């Protein structure tokens, strides 16, 4: 095994250990948050009219009659094996409820991420070529405006514009991907755009600054003095050296998109994780609520782990530290 391979393996092992430690910490905090809520969880779920026998029966079903450490170990084992118990409100396994709603949230997140990359990167490249010009100022101004407007406000504005003035969108048109894939994707385009707009502004601003910084570096000046064209310098030097910044901002954008989709789903009346989460809160469905919080945190942690690995691949100096 070469020295470089050994360093790469150590880097990967350290990142995996950090991932596992973070997941354990998230699981503990999630469990603790629902364990220290004032009042008896079974009594809260059943309401004030429940009899002591009903409360005792539900406590036994939920495992609340066992010591706290045993409850946590059982819950942790279930969380990492996909068994999070049964929803009190829906009378269905928590994992099946999450899996049923996950395509909407993941689909919106993927479409919004593609929009962010396809729109913000070309705008950042064009704007950074001639900073301070009218085009750059217009893009920067629009970026500030879009970044300041919350996604749910943009959702309402898009609904009004497309439904009232263009008459091309109707809120509530949705079909599961298994029944009508075309309608499923079509119903996610507009809400995904509402989620993506602020992230486009954020990514544009960040990438524009990174490209300008690279354009002003000494190696770019040297490349120009050797007669290399702007496109050649951009593709072979500037963009590759901006990869770490790109990966960092995209990891932040992806986690923000995942959180933003939970709110936008309510505005567009989509059956995603957002509606399920609000339903779990309203019904005091603690098994469902704790399971959703854990798996949303799991997705976020995995995204950051993937970003760390990609950043290490893009810049070997990160792996050497």
Q: Which of 175-179, 184-188, 191-195, 237-241 has the lowest mean pLDDT?
A: 237-241
pLDDT mean over 257-282 = 81
Nearest to 12 by CA among 314, 306, 317: 306
Q: What is the pTM of this model?
A: 0.79
Handedness of CA 74, 77, 78, 79 (dihedral sign): positive
Measured CA to CA, the distance from residue 116 to residue 195 in angstroms comes to 10
Whether the per-residue pLDDT at 21 is higher than 80: the answer is yes
Measure the N-to-C terminal CA separation of the chain; round to a whole number of Å: 19
Whether the per-residue pLDDT at 319 is higher than 70: the answer is no
The overall average pLDDT reported for the chain is: 78
Residue 75 has a pLDDT of 79
Residue 228 has a pLDDT of 73
Residues of the chain with pLDDT > 90, as a percent, come to 0
- Answer whether 287's CB lies under 8 Å from 147's CB: no
- Answer whether 198's CB lies under 8 Å from 147's CB: yes
Whether the per-residue pLDDT at 315 is higher than 70: the answer is no
With H, G, I as helix, E, B as strand and everything else as coil, classify residue 165: helix
Residue 318 has a pLDDT of 54
Domains defined along the chain, listed by start: 94-276 (1.10.3720.10)
Whether the per-residue pLDDT at 206 is higher than 80: the answer is yes
Whether the per-residue pLDDT at 169 is higher than 70: the answer is no
Q: 93: which strand partners?
A: 86
Among the residues of the chain, which ranges form H helices?
3-35, 41-46, 52-62, 68-81, 94-129, 134-148, 151-159, 181-215, 218-225, 230-233, 239-241, 243-268, 273-282, 286-314, 316-320
pLDDT level of residue 41 (50, 70, 90 thresholds) = low
Residue 22 has a pLDDT of 82
Q: How many CB atoms lie within 10 A of CB 205?
A: 19
pLDDT level of residue 2 (50, 70, 90 thresholds) = low
Measured CA to CA, the distance from residue 65 to residue 50 in angstroms comes to 17
Residue 44 has a pLDDT of 66
pLDDT tens digits, one per residue of 43-53:
666 767 777 78
Q: 86: which strand partners?
A: 93
pLDDT tens digits, one per residue of 95-148:
888 888 888 888 888 888 899 889 888 888 888 877 778 877 887 888 778 777
pLDDT level of residue 188 (50, 70, 90 thresholds) = confident
Whether the per-residue pLDDT at 289 is higher than 80: the answer is yes
With H, G, I as helix, E, B as strand and everything else as coil, classify residue 72: helix
């Amino acid at each position: 095994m070469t020295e470089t391979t050994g360093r790469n393996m150590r880097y990967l092992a350290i990142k995996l250990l950090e991932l596992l430690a973070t997941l354990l910490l998230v699981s503990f905090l999630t469990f603790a948050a629902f364990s220290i809520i004032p009042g008896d969880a079974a009594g809260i779920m059943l309401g004030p009219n429940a009899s002591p026998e009903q409360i005792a029966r539900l406590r036994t079903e939920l495992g609340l009659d066992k010591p706290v450490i045993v409850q946590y170990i059982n819950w942790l084992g279930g969380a990492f094996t996909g068994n999070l118990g049964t929803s009190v409100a829906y009378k269905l396994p928590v994992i099946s409820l999450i899996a049923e709603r996950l395509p909407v949230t993941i689909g919106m997140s993927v479409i919004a991420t593609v929009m962010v990359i396809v729109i913000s990167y070309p705008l950042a490249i064009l704007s950074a070529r001639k900073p301070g010009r009218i085009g750059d100022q217009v893009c920067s101004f629009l970026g500030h405006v879009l970044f300041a407007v919350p996604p749910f406000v943009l959702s309402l504005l898009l609904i009004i514009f497309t439904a009232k003035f263009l008459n091309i969108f109707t809120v509530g048109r949705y079909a599961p991907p298994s029944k009508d894939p075309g309608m499923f994707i079509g119903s996610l385009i507009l809400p995904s755009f509402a989620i993506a707009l602020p992230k486009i502004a954020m990514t544009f601003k960040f990438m524009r600054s990174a490209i300008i910084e690279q354009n002003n570096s000494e190696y770019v000046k040297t490349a120009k003095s050797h007669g290399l064209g702007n496109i050649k310098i951009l593709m072979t030097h500037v963009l590759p050296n901006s990869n770490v910044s790109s990966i960092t901002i995209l990891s932040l954008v992806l986690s923000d998109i995942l959180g933003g989709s939970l709110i936008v789903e309510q505005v567009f009346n989509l059956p995603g994780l957002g509606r399920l989460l609000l339903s779990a809160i309203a019904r005091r469905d603690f098994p469902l609520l704790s399971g959703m919080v854990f798996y949303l945190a799991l997705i976020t942690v995995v995204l950051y782990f993937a970003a760390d690995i990609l950043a290490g691949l893009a810049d070997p100096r990160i792996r050497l530290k």
